[in-house]
């Protein structure tokens, strides 16, 4: 299974925000620069992460975004479920558009469904906090200090 760029960017935004000191605001421009991702793409991602209650937006001068909850309460499996819109690994997972003649007798579908559930179960074991245990190292990559 392959995650969409949307989910990839969502996870990166959450990791970026979790790597910042608690309650410190960030901007889409900062995140865009750190990951070399289009601001337009990130704007949609940030908007949806806000709607999903993962992040909060502070408006006005000096505003920005930050995590709404502790990184230890942001389950990766939950993020993936909220950001991915298609878990249909094969045609037969969609009853309306399935044209596979093997569908009534096929056992592959069950195995693939089991594999998908195992994939999500692994993601369910992790939180965003698990990915920022090495904050110093991440900080050097995401928040480089100007050279003097």
Kindly state whether residue 70 falls inside one of the protein's structural domains.
yes
Question: In this predicted structure, what is the pLDDT of residue 148?
Answer: 59
How far from chain centre, in Å, is Cα 130?
14
Number of domains the chain contains: 1
**Residue 98 lies inside a defined structural domain of this protein:** yes
Please tell me the predicted confidence (pLDDT) of residue 113.
87
Residue 147 lies in a domain: no
Query: In this predicted structure, what is the pLDDT of residue 110?
Result: 83
pLDDT at 52: 95
Is residue 148 in a domain? no
- The CATH number linked to 131 is 1.10.10.10
Kindly report, residue by residue over 23-79, the tens digit of the pLDDT.
Answer: 899 999 999 999 999 999 999 999 999 999 999 999 988 899 999 999 999 999 999
- The 10s digit of each residue's pLDDT in 108-127 is 888 888 989 999 999 999 99
Q: Under DSSP, is residue 103 helix (H, G, I), strand (E, B) or coil? A: coil
Tokens 């698990």 sit on residue: 130
Helix axes 135-142, 5-19, angle to 10 degrees: 110
In a domain, 110, yes or no: yes
DSSP string, 18-84: HHSPTT--B-HHHHHHHHT--HHHHHHHHHHHHHTTSEEEE-STT-EEEESS-GGG-BHHHHHHHH-
Selection from 77, 54, 75 nearest residue 127 by Cα: 75
Residue 53 belongs to what domain range?
A: 5-142
Dist. CA 45–CA 3, nearest whole Å: 14
**pLDDT for the residue numbered 96:** 80
- How many CB atoms are closer than 10 A to CB 62? 7
pTM of the model: 0.87
Q: Residue 87: pLDDT above 80?
A: no
Task: For residues 96-116, give the mean pLDDT.
Answer: 82
Tokens representing 40 are: 């337009």
């Amino acid at each position: 299974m392959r995650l969409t760029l949307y989910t990839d960017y969502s996870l990166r935004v959450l990791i970026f925000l979790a790597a910042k000191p608690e309650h410190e605001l960030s901007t889409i421009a900062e995140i865009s620069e750190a990951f070399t991702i289009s601001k337009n793409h990130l704007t949609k991602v940030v908007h949806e992460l806000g709607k999903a209650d993962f992040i909060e937006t502070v408006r006005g001068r000096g505003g920005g975004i930050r995590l709404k909850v502790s990184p230890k309460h942001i389950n990766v499996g939950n993020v993936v479920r909220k950001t991915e819109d298609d878990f249909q690994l094969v045609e037969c997972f969609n009853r309306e558009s399935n044209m596979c003649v093997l569908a009534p007798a096929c056992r592959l579908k069950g195995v693939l469904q089991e594999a998908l559930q195992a994939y999500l179960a692994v993601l369910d074991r992790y939180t965003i906090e698990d990915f920022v245990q090495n904050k110093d190292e991440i900080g050097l990559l995401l928040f480089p200090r100007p050279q003097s």
